Chains A and B, each alone.
Chain A
Amino acid sequence: MAKWWQCMKVVWSNLLVYKINFILQAIAPLFVFLFVKVSLWTAIYDSSAKSSMISGYTLEQMLSYHLWIMIVTLVSLGAINQDLSQDIRMGRITIYLLVPFSLFEFHCASFLAKQSVKLGIALFSLVGVIIFLDLPMEFSQITNAILLSLWAGLFWFFLNYFFGLLGFWLEETWTFSVMVQVITYFFSGAIIPLEFYPKWLTDILIYTPFPYLGYVPAKIMMGGQVDLNFAFTVLGVWMLFMGFLTQWIFRRGIRLYTAAGM
């Protein structure tokens, strides 16, 4: 446990070395994203003849949906693993093959450290929303949404770790990460709520992890009826699959690893 704690402390201090960098990288995009969406939907509702309701949302509900999306995606889509493939390519993972703290444990501890910071920011934003915007909500809604977002965040970590491990075979893996990010933002309802999508598509999406990374936790925050057991189960199955896949990929990849000089 001490090793995990030490590792987390190192990650926290690294984050604080370049504070502006951290703010610009991790927090600013979410606020810009929120600003764009608030502006866009306000313009849409202003110019809509039907005005009061679009696809079951009033303007107020649409804006609060996007506010919740910002808060839940801070937690669920927080993990990024840009360094892993580079570490593999440069032969920097050798140390984890020698010390009693595996590569997976190191990245898991880093993830927990970063996730704790993101969770802190999310909870801080949540308190701000409760105090200043006075949106109707219950304690159980907040708890369920945060727990589901944390669960989704763990899945997102596994997915990113998997793409990082592809560095055993590929020179660059960032294109995979960006691609998955684009697809995830689109299918998670982070850009527009899933009610706007064709029904056949949403019927398929509920069996994928995407809605649980944004849309579903946001709906819980808004007081919507959500089958939590189903949500946790679907994500759990995907996580189990990703867990096995990463282990398998690591075992295959490590055979190709030649330390420095890859």
Chain B
Amino acid sequence: MKARIKHYLGIYQGFISTSFAESLNFRVHFVLLILMDFFFYGSSFLSIHFIYQHVEVIGTWHRNELMFFVSFMLSVNQLAMTFTSESYWRFPELIKRGELDFVLLKPANSIFLVFFRYIRPGSAFNIIFTLPALIYFGIQLGLGVTAWVMLPFLVAVAFLLQSAIDVILATTMFWMLEGTGMNFLRIELQQLSRWPDFIYPDIFRKFLSLGLPVLLIGSGPVRFLLEASDFIPLLVMLALLVLFLIFLSFLWKKGLRAYESASS
């Protein structure tokens, strides 16, 4: 097990260094990525700020609670943008051109090789926006010691669940071949998850929490962090994460069987 982890860490180290080398060759793109995320974060926070200039509360949440939720979701988004986002756009090209063959020949898990191959260092830099926001609104809400200790783990778990859902959606590209539409759907589902679950009508909330659990990505952890007794959504989220990882493994094998190499 230890040797296996070391093996994968070695591979990932290679991915990081090649991604850095690539991004340093395209410095304008590196800066633009930072600016792009900056505008996205800014518009997210300002939209909520403007709404709360006119209302006291949304659902049961006041301004700081929703701002903390948004900071949490932007932190998850920042991790996704850094570690996986690029790979979803490159994956359909691997299928169409048959370049997936070369990935399958390598002695490592193919899901890992496909979806964790490209890292965007420019997006990693944006932690200077998301982390202070998360800490600031956490302090405003007076989070307890347990919540602060749990916070990094919960951001990581939320990122894992989002990644599991995203990779499952991406796997359908084995059959669809053209991946742009599926990538747009993936982005739209992320859009849904960026608002707390209580804003949605009951039937959609249930489906988007239990069927396709995008709402649990943010609402599960944040509800627990705000009120430790509200832990059920978090438990459901952890259970669904395990289920989705098992399902992903199954679907990936099916997808590989449907893959027709260069002729696909």
Q: Which residues of A contact B (CB under 8 A)?
A: 18, 20-25, 28-29, 32-33, 35-36, 39-40, 42-44, 47-50, 54-55, 170-172, 175-176, 178-179, 182-183, 185-186, 191-192, 196-197
B181 and A39 contacting across the interface, CB-CB below 8 Å: no
The answer to whether A23 touches B181, judged by C-beta atoms less than 8 angstroms apart, is: yes
Checking B32, B177, B201 against A179 with a beta-carbon cut-off of 8 angstroms, the contacting residue is B32
Q: How far is the CB of A169 from chain B (nearest CB, A)?
A: 8
CB distance from B5 to the nearest CB of A (A): 34
A172 contacts B26, CB within 8 Å? Answer: yes
Flag whether B56 is at the interface (Cβ < 8 A).
yes
Q: Are B180 and A25 in contact (CB under 8 A)?
A: yes
Interface SS majority for chain A:
helix
Q: Are A28 and B43 in contact (CB under 8 A)?
A: no
Q: CB < 8 Å: which of B28, B39, B188, B199 contacts A29?
A: B188
A25 to B187, CA, bound (A): 10
Please, how many angstroms separate the alpha-carbon atoms of A191 and B44 in the complex? 10
CA distance A44 to B187 in the complex (A): 24
In Å, the complex CA distance between A253 and B207 comes to: 50
- Across the interface, B58 reaches (CB within 8 A) one of A44, A49, A186, namely A44
Find out whether the CB atom of B182 lies under 8 angstroms from the CB atom of A24.
Answer: yes
Query: Nearest B residue to A46 by beta-carbon distance?
Result: B59
Q: Is the CB of B50 within 8 A of A25?
A: no
Complex Cα–Cα for A54 and B50 (A): 12
A48 contact from B35, B47, B55, B185, Cβ within 8 A? B55
Of B190-198, B228-236, B246-254, the one with at least 4 CB within 8 A of chain A: B190-198
B contact set with A: CB distance below 8 Å: 26, 28-29, 32-33, 35-36, 39-40, 43, 46-47, 50-51, 53-60, 176-178, 180-182, 184-185, 187-188, 191-192, 195, 198-201, 204
With contacts defined as CB atoms under 8 Å apart, how many contacts are there between chain A and chain B in the complex? 108
Question: Is the CB–CB distance between B55 and A44 below 8 Å?
Answer: yes
**CA of A93 to CA of B211, assembled, Å:** 46
Closest A residue by C-beta to B34: A175
Instruction: Tell whether, in the assembled complex, residue B43 and residue A186 are in contact, meaning their CB atoms are under 8 Å apart.
Output: yes
Q: Which residue of B lies closest to A21 (CB)?
A: B181
**Contact (Cβ within 8 A) B39 A182:** yes
Is A192's CB under 8 angstroms from B50's CB?
A: yes
A43 contacts B59, C-beta separation under 8 Å: yes
- Cβ distance B79 to chain A, nearest Cβ, rounded Å: 18
Decide yes or no: A28 and B176 within 8 Å by CB, A172-B29, A186-B43 being known contacts: no
Instruction: Assess whether B198 is in contact with A182, with CB atoms less than 8 Å apart.
Output: no
A-B CB contact pairs (8 Å), 29 listed: A20-B176, A21-B176, A24-B181, A24-B184, A25-B181, A29-B184, A29-B188, A32-B188, A35-B204, A36-B191, A36-B192, A36-B195, A39-B201, A40-B195, A42-B201, A43-B198, A47-B57, A54-B55, A170-B26, A170-B28, A170-B29, A172-B32, A175-B29, A179-B32, A182-B39, A182-B43, A183-B43, A186-B43, A196-B51
Nearest B residue to A197 by beta-carbon distance? B50
